[in-house]
Structure 1
Amino acid sequence: MSGGVPIDDEARDDAADVLRYLLEWQLAPQRWERVDAIVGSLAEALAQEDGDALREATAELELAGPVRVTRIGTNSLIPAPEPTRDRANHLVHTLGRPRQERPDDTPDRPGGDGDGTRTPAR
Structure 2
Amino acid sequence: MRAAGNAFEQRACEELERAGLKLLARNYTTRHGELDLVMRDGGTVVFVEVRYRIRSGFGDAVMSITAAKQAKLVRTAQLWLAAHPKYAQQACRFDVVTYDGPRDSAKMEWLRNAFEAE
* Same fold? TM cut 0.5: no
Higher relative contact order (CA 8 A, sep 6+): 1
Q: Normalising TM by the smaller chain, what interval?
A: under 0.3
Which structure: larger Rg? 1
Task: Write 1 or 2 for the structure with the bigger share of strand.
Answer: 2
Normalising by structure 1, report the TM-score. Answer: 0.27
